[in-house]
Structure 1
Amino acid sequence: MRVKISHHTIRKGLLFKKTFYEVHLTAAFTHEERQIIQQRGLSKTKLVDRRPANAKNDARDEKFELRVEHILNGQTDRFLCDTPSKAKIYEEDILSVMNQMKLWLDDNAETGTQTLVEL
């Protein structure tokens, strides 16, 4: 798996423009990793609970969660943050999650073997 994270500054708004800091995440999975995700039915698995800077107060949290299916086919995930600091913290969180995902995919590659323990 190859993960690319980049930061972008964008301005949104029609009349009153506001500056946001957008974090782009692109993941390139190997053929084997994609097969594991498909065979084990892991595409709906939630990776991160998050809420972007421009989210409405009454918006449901499920709308913003990051799942495996969002980044599976090389699609770029975009997330808005209020400050550059929050964008960097989000990047650290995403890197940690992607590292855990790599370990998780390796664990799901094969079924367990027999274990014999004498106590």
Structure 2
Amino acid sequence: MRVTIDHQTIRKGVLLKTTYYEVSLTVAFTHEEKQIIRQRGLLKTKLVDRRPANAKVDDRDEKFELRVEHLMDGRADRFLCATPSKSKIYEEDLLAVLEQMKRWLDDNAETGSRTVVEF
């Protein structure tokens, strides 16, 4: 699994321009990892609960969840933060979650073996 995270400053709005700090995430899974995700039915697994800086108050939280299916096939996931600090914190959170996901994929690669313990 190869992870690429990029930061950009974006200005949005027609009359009142607002500056956002975009964090772009791209994950390149190996063929084996893609196979594990599909075989074990892990595509709908939620990785991060998040809410972008430009979200409306009445938007549902489920709309902004980051799930495994969003990262498949090398698609970039873009997320807007309000400040540069929040974008860096979001990057740290992403790296922690993706590190955990790598361990989780390794665990799902094979079924467990027999264990005998005597106390």
* TM-score, with structure 2 as normaliser: 0.99
Matches of 1:74 and 1:95 in 2, distance apart? 17
Equivalence map 1:38-57=2 (5 Å): 38-57=38-57
Structure 2 residue runs of 5 or longer lacking an equivalent are none
Correspondence for 1:61: 61
Matches of 2:30 and 2:118 in 1, distance apart? 39
Matches of 2:47 and 2:60 in 1, distance apart? 17
Quick one: which amino acid aligns to residue 73 of structure 1? D
Matches of 1:47 and 1:72 in 2, distance apart? 13
Corresponding residue pairs, total? 119
Correspondence for 1:22: 22
TM-aligned CA deviation for residue 59 of structure 1: 0.6
- Residue 43 of structure 1 aligns to a residue whose secondary structure is coil
TM-aligned CA deviation for residue 48 of structure 1: 0.1
Equivalence map 1:1-119=2 (5 Å): 1-119=1-119
Quick one: which amino acid aligns to residue 18 of structure 2? K
Structure 1 residue runs of 5 or longer lacking an equivalent are none
Matches of 1:72 and 1:100 in 2, distance apart? 17
TM-aligned CA deviation for residue 74 of structure 1: 0.3
TM-aligned CA deviation for residue 118 of structure 1: 0.5
Quick one: which amino acid aligns to residue 29 of structure 2? F
- Residue 89 of structure 1 aligns to a residue whose secondary structure is helix
- RMSD over aligned Cα, in angstroms? 0.3
TM-aligned CA deviation for residue 2 of structure 1: 0.1
